[in-house]
Amino acid sequence: MNDPHRSTPSGRTRARGLGLAVEGTPGPWNAITDVPGVAVGYTTLIEGCGPLVVGKGPVRTGVTAILPRPVEEVQTPVFAGFHSFNGNGELTGTHYIAEAGKFALPVTLTNTHSCGLARDATIRWAVRHFSGRFDEDFALPVAAETYDGFLNDINGFHLREEHVFAAIDGAVAGPVEEGSVGGGTGMKCFGFKAGSGTASRLVTHGGQGYTVGAFVQANFGARGDMTVLGHRIGGAFDDLPMRRETPEKDLSSIIAVLATDAPFLPHQLRRIAQRATVGVARMGGFGRHGSGDIFLAFSTANRAIMGGADAALLAATWVPDEQIDPFFEAAAQAVEEAILNAIVANADMEGRDGNFVPAIPHERLRKVVGVAG
């Protein structure tokens, strides 16, 4: 079996497989699925090559589903918070999260022009899956997007509701595939092929162990900004330009989803979501005008109180604000490593009109960061 810290289930090298280890202690899978009950599923759509024919391709897209609870419990809400570092993007359900501090149902990540479809398909999936047992008179699921139009026929609307159903139904715990999969299929980061990435950190609090897991859909940053483990390295790859260089307005975006089994209240989860900004900054991102840098955090704890509308009073546990710093640090570390994994666990990709995004060369990356072979 592959060492899940060093390679993905398909055998793609992760950052730690190159000796690039962000600070902190990862969980067994070094993935968001280290948080008990959390699962990830993908549908990946890759078809065709050559000139763009809108509605026919080439297709380089997909959808990612993140289940905050096991599938039969996914109607049970989780406490949540969100943060918009730069709001040129979409994360549905945020008004309700701001108002009530919670959400339910799977989270989906896809391309910009399929975000609404993914949201609506999630409701349709719940109505069908729970057939007569769907608890909500209305539902406001979370769906998020980043732009893949440099490689993908984004105006061809190739994602369909059955692809969303398949991603949700295929969601599993354990090691998570990374790179050009799911919603991350057509994404790029710092001028290199990127997309889906994940990582986790273990935190001890009050004598008990907890996990903070991160999942990113990374699609941001100019190459010259790229920073790895404190080294500004983008200039070392100037000889690897993309064919038909991307206009600056397309240097966007990143969605980060943070999960934890530690008990927090919604205002605290908003603060944890904010710390994803630190992970982005450590990689060299600074929130360009055209970037949608939007972050979600949720806790699977306090399950017994959620949805308790029949009770006169409810009770919750939470980590005191004054003791939250180790979780802030874990969130920043996990997001930083998830972005790095999204870049490292990848391959060259050519898409519409011959547009090409290279994978980052592993050995050169090791050399410029100063990691021994």
List, for residues 35-92, the tens digit of each pLDDT value.
999 999 999 999 999 999 999 999 999 999 999 999 999 999 999 999 999 999 999 9
* Residue 347 · residue 195 · CB < 8 Å: no
180 labelled catalytic: no
Angle at 348 between CA 344 and CA 351, to 5 degrees: 130
Indicate the SS3 state at residue 338: helix
Give residues with Cβ within 8 angstroms of 53, minimum separation 6.
Answer: 153
Calpha distance 71→350 (Å, rounded): 36
Calpha distance 97→108 (Å, rounded): 16
pLDDT digits (tens, 9 = 90+) for 186-232: 999 999 999 999 999 999 999 999 999 999 999 999 999 999 999 99
Calpha distance 285→226 (Å, rounded): 8
Calpha distance 321→313 (Å, rounded): 23
| Confidence band for 132, pLDDT divided at 50, 70 and 90 | confident
Domain boundaries, the chain: 24-236+249-305+317-352
Write out the H or E segment, with its range, that includes residue 165: helix 161-169
* Residue 300 · residue 261 · CB < 8 Å: yes
| Confidence band for 136, pLDDT divided at 50, 70 and 90 | low
Largest separation between any pair of C-alpha atoms in the chain? 66
Q: Report the topology of domain 24-236+249-305+317-352.
A: L-amino peptidase D-ALA esterase/amidase (3.60.70)
Write out the H or E segment, with its range, that includes residue 116: helix 115-129
Query: Rounded to the nearest 10 degrees, what angle do helices 325-344 and 266-274 cross at?
Result: 50
Beta bridge partners of 254: 218, 293
Q: Is 260 left (phi over 0), alpha (psi -120 to 50) or beta?
A: beta
pTM of the entire predicted model: 0.96
How many other C-beta atoms lie within 10 A of the C-beta of residue 126? 22
Calpha distance 285→279 (Å, rounded): 9
Q: How many residues does the chain have?
A: 373
Per-position DSSP letters for 262-273, written without gaps between them: S---HHHHHHHH
- Report, as an integer, the average pLDDT of 135-148: 89
Query: Given 253, 261, 325, 348, which residue is catalytic?
Result: 253
131 labelled catalytic: no
- Of the chain, the end-to-end C-alpha distance in Å amounts to 23
What is the gyration radius of the CA atoms in the chain, in angstroms?
19
pLDDT digits (tens, 9 = 90+) for 89-121: 999 999 999 999 999 999 999 999 999 999 999
* Residue 246 · residue 150 · CB < 8 Å: yes
Query: Given 196, 200, 252, 291, which residue is catalytic?
Result: 291
What is the phi/psi pair of residue 235, to 5°?
Answer: -65, -20
Query: Given 148, 153, 261, 293, which residue is catalytic?
Result: 293
Report, in this order, helix, strand and coil percent for the chain, each rounded to 5.
Answer: 30, 25, 45
pLDDT at 34 exceeding the cut of 90: yes
Which amino acid does the sequence have at 246? T
pLDDT digits (tens, 9 = 90+) for 233-254: 988 998 876 665 544 445 579 9
Picking from 167, 141, 124, the residue whose alpha carbon sits closest to that of residue 80 is 141
pLDDT digits (tens, 9 = 90+) for 283-325: 999 999 999 999 999 999 998 766 666 778 888 999 999 999 9
Token pair listed for 270: 């908003």
Picking from 242, 342, 366, 215, the residue whose alpha carbon sits closest to that of residue 283 is 342
253 labelled catalytic: yes
Torsion of CA 72, 74, 78, 84, to 10 degrees: 160
DSSP state of 246: P
Q: In the chain, where do the E strands start and end?
A: 39-47, 59-67, 78-87, 102-103, 107-111, 143-146, 188-189, 192-193, 196-205, 208-218, 227-228, 231-232, 254-260, 292-299, 349-350, 356-357
pLDDT digits (tens, 9 = 90+) for 144-192: 999 999 999 999 999 999 999 999 999 999 999 999 999 999 999 999 9
- The confidence score (pLDDT) of residue 246 equals 47
Mean pLDDT of the chain: 94
Picking from 177, 61, 43, 197, the residue whose alpha carbon sits closest to that of residue 106 is 43
